[in-house]
């Protein structure tokens, strides 16, 4: 069984070094380490070119979605059976992490298409993808989980630590590079879980170097006070969330749910904060692009 590790990076050289070193220190080695450099400007490319045990792909900054599109495509075309995906701010303390995966992989149900990892944050909190989207897809729910059962059925995973089976790529294709950033992994999981099984594995722990309650995961609909520097991110978060809901289920119920979220957020913009026109425009474009199925890599 051939395993490739795909790591996407952008201007986080110190964290990337930690991530690569953790993969190098595994007792069971990956067959290929693929690093997708999204046009970093902090010396990342120069350092990577000095490494002789990686496959380096440098491209323009296409966001996490474009990075994993390229990395998964490369690993698939090279014939790898499983593809381990990680962001550059992920590291692994357990040197037997890959060994555990290989050991347990023999007992996976035949149509298992992805195994999501437990994530540990710098504030000491944990969470694991252990819940499915509800019928009306109210929101993605991630909760701490402290049991040691190996396989927990789910419909979600994060590119911050997931094993994706070759057959999943064959069945559903690649991540949508047009999403750029935010919910690109959830949307990909939505397509995969329609074809095969996704499980979470509490014994497969990765360290994700951010603080849980400061991550995008917590409070997507909190509608921050307008900040022109974050407007592009707000656009992707809202548009891609709508797209993900529609990937799980394109139905009247989901459309009603999206319209409700759109209306609620519009009311919030009206009542609170400044720069209302810019925020209305961001919200409107996110809504229209999602429901029209026309995705552009532009922010507004």
Check residue 202 and give its pLDDT. Answer: 86
pTM: 0.89
Strand partners, 34: 6, 55
Query: When comparing pLDDT for 211 and 39, which is higher?
Result: 39
Residue ranges per domain, the chain? 3-214, 220-292
Among the ranges 34-38, 152-156, 268-272, which has the highest mean pLDDT value?
Answer: 34-38
For the ranges 18-32, 110-124, 270-284, which has the lowest average pLDDT? 270-284
Among the ranges 89-93, 132-136, 225-229, which has the highest mean pLDDT value?
Answer: 89-93
pLDDT > 90 fraction of the chain, expressed in percent and rounded = 62
Check residue 142 and give its pLDDT. Answer: 54
**Averaged confidence pLDDT in the chain:** 86
Check residue 298 and give its pLDDT. Answer: 46
Query: When comparing pLDDT for 224 and 282, which is higher?
Result: 282
d(CA 286, CA 240): 8
> Is the pLDDT reported for residue 223 higher than 70?
no
Check residue 232 and give its pLDDT. Answer: 82
Residues 129/156, Cβ–Cβ less than 8 Å: yes
The SS3 of residue 268 is helix
d(CA 28, CA 102): 8
For the ranges 128-132, 138-142, 177-181, 240-244, which has the lowest average pLDDT? 138-142
Check residue 174 and give its pLDDT. Answer: 97
pLDDT band at 273 (very low <50, low <70, confident <90, very high): confident
d(CA 246, CA 137): 9
> Is the pLDDT reported for residue 43 higher than 50?
yes
Check residue 134 and give its pLDDT. Answer: 47
> Is the pLDDT reported for residue 211 higher than 60?
no
> Is the pLDDT reported for residue 151 higher than 50?
yes
d(CA 300, CA 181): 14
Residue 126 to residues 116, 144, 198, 234, Cα–Cα distance (Å): 13, 5, 19, 25
How does pLDDT run across 52-75, given as a tens digit for each residue?
A: 999 999 999 999 999 999 999 999
Closest of 80, 117, 96, 86 to residue 198, by C-alpha: 117
> Is the pLDDT reported for residue 83 higher than 80?
yes
**CATH architecture entry for 3-214:** Alpha-Beta Complex (3.90)
How does pLDDT run across 154-207, given as a tens digit for each residue?
A: 888 999 999 999 999 999 999 999 999 999 999 999 999 999 999 998 889 999
Check residue 147 and give its pLDDT. Answer: 52
Residues 64-86 as b/e (b if ≥16 CB within 10 A, e otherwise) read bbbbbbbbbbbbbeeebebbbbb
What mean pLDDT comes out for the span 118-139? 69
């Amino acid at each position: 069984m051939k395993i490739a590790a795909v790591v996407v990076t952008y201007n986080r050289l110190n964290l990337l070094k930690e991530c690569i070193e953790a993969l190098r220190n595994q007792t069971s080695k990956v067959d290929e380490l693929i690093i997708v450099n999204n046009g970093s400007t902090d010396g990342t490319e120069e350092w990577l070119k000095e490494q002789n045990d990686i496959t380096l792909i440098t491209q323009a900054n296409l966001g996490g979605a474009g990075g994993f599109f390229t990395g998964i495509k490369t690993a698939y075309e090279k014939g790898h059976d499983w593809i381990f995906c990680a962001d550059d701010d992920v590291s692994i303390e357990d040197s037997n992490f890959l060994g555990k995966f290989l050991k347990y992989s023999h007992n996976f149900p035949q149509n298992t298409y992805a195994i999501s990892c437990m994530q540990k944050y710098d504030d000491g909190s944990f969470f694991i993808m252990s819940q499915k989207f509800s019928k009306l897809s109210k929101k993605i729910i991630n909760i701490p989980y402290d049991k040691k059962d190996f396989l927990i059925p789910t419909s979600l995973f994060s590119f911050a630590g997931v094993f994706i089976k070759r057959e999943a790529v064959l069945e559903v294709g690649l991540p949508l590079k047009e999403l750029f950033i935010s919910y690109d992994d959830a949307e990909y999981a939505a397509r995969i879980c329609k074809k095969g099984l996704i499980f979470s594995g509490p014994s497969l722990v990765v360290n994700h170097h951010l603080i849980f309650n400061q991550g995008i995961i917590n409070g997507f609909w909190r509608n921050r006070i307008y900040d022109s520097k974050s407007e592009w991110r707000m656009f992707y978060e809202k548009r891609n969330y709508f797209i993900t809901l529609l990937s799980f289920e394109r139905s009247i119920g989901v459309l009603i749910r999206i319209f409700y979220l759109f209306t609620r957020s519009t009311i919030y913009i009206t009542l609170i904060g400044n720069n209302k026109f810019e925020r209305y425009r961001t919200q409107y474009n996110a809504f229209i692009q999602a429901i029209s199925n026309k995705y552009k890599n532009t922010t507004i």
